[in-house]
């Protein structure tokens, strides 16, 4: 991580904002540049302050986190955005991924885990909540079963959801970068998807709790 990371916190719960501010003060390499009590205010501050990292509540009155995120992405502001929320619902994670978040963290995380996750996002990783320990919800009836992925393809798909590049995946799984590239092509073809982002969304919606 290069240089001091400037952080903006946007959340309509005063106690949580205070807690995040205190947590950030313990983190070397991070500096709080502002805090906002709502989405509209947060968007205006993001435009003005141009932070490196934006911590954004998902469900806020009047102007929610995804609305803020869509506006930031439409304006192409160079900021890494982390949703920090109480919701671990698959549909919320998938919607945030589609909108272009860089991280999705839960408010009930241990402070040390939150610090590690923010460090990872600042370093360029995409961080998602841990897979739930409870059984997956029953899926809707399907006329055909889901595409069958090999164990290696499932492992690679999990690494894609973590924001790793082909080179990083190859290093972690001890296989050649070219081999990873071939696997990714096969995964996209099997799932009828066009991009790694779509693959990450598919994995969150279909494989949470089952990817090794």
Sheet holding 5-10, edge to edge: 30-36, 5-10, 53-56, 80-85, 103-106
Pair 116, 179 in one domain: no
pLDDT at 132 over 50: no
Tens digit of each residue's pLDDT (9 = 90 or more) over 167-203: 889 999 999 988 998 888 888 888 888 777 778 778 8
Whichever domain contains 201, its CATH number is 1.10.10.10
Pair 20, 107 in one domain: yes
Pair 159, 104 in one domain: no
Question: Count of domains in the chain?
Answer: 2
Q: In sequence order, which residues have a C-beta less than 8 Å from that of residue 47 and are 6 or more positions away?
A: 75, 77
132: alpha, beta or left? (left if phi > 0; alpha if psi -120 to 50): beta
Pair 112, 170 in one domain: no
The confidence score (pLDDT) of residue 11 equals: 92
Tens digit of each residue's pLDDT (9 = 90 or more) over 73-105: 898 888 999 999 988 888 888 888 888 889 999
**Strand partners of residue 46:** none
**Whose structure tokens read 């109480």?**
86
Q: What percent of the chain has pLDDT over 90?
A: 27
Pair 111, 24 in one domain: yes
Tens digit of each residue's pLDDT (9 = 90 or more) over 34-66: 999 999 999 999 999 999 999 999 988 888 889
The confidence score (pLDDT) of residue 130 equals: 67
The confidence score (pLDDT) of residue 52 equals: 94
52 close to 80: Cβ distance less than 8 angstroms? yes
pLDDT at 204 over 90: no
Average pLDDT, the chain: 83
Residue 109 lies in a domain: yes
Instruction: Show the domain range for 175.
Output: 151-206
Tallying the residues shown for the chain, one arrives at 212
pLDDT at 160 over 50: yes
CA–CA distance, 1 with 30 (Å, rounded to integer): 10
CA–CA distance, 12 with 39 (Å, rounded to integer): 8
Pair 24, 72 in one domain: yes
Pair 33, 103 in one domain: yes
Residue 98 lies in a domain: yes
pLDDT at 7 over 50: yes
Pair 158, 92 in one domain: no
CA nearest neighbour of 70 among 91, 100, 90, 45: 100
Whichever domain contains 94, its CATH number is 3.40.50.2300
The confidence score (pLDDT) of residue 48 equals: 94
Query: Which of 80, 102, 122 is where one domain is finished?
Result: 122
Residue 211 lies in a domain: no
Confidence label for 135 from pLDDT (cuts 50, 70 and 90): very low
Main-chain dihedrals φ then ψ at residue 205, nearest 5 degrees: -75, -30
């Amino acid at each position: 991580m290069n240089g001091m990371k400037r952080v903006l916190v946007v959340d309509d719960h005063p106690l949580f904002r205070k807690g995040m501010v205190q947590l950030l003060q313990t983190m070397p390499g991070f500096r709080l540049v502002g805090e906002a009590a709502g989405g509209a205010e947060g968007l205006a501050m993001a435009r003005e302050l141009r932070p490196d990292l934006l911590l954004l509540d998902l469900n806020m009155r009047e102007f929610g986190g995804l609305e803020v995120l869509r506006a930031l992405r439409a304006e192409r502001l160079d900021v890494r955005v982390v949703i920090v929320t109480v919701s671990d619902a698959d549909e919320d994670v998938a919607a945030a991924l589609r909108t272009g978040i860089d991280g999705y963290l839960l408010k009930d995380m241990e402070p040390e885990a939150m610090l590690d996750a923010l460090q990872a996002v600042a370093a360029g990783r995409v961080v998602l909540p841990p897979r739930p320990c409870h059984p997956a919800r029953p899926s809707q009836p399907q006329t055909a079963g889901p595409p069958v992925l090999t164990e290696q393809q499932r492992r690679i798909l999990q690494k894609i959801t973590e924001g790793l590049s082909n080179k990083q995946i190859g290093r972690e799984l001890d296989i050649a970068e070219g081999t990873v590239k071939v696997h990714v092509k096969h995964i996209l073809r099997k799932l009828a998807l066009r991009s790694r982002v779509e693959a990450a969304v598919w994995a969150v919606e279909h494989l949470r709790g089952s990817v090794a």
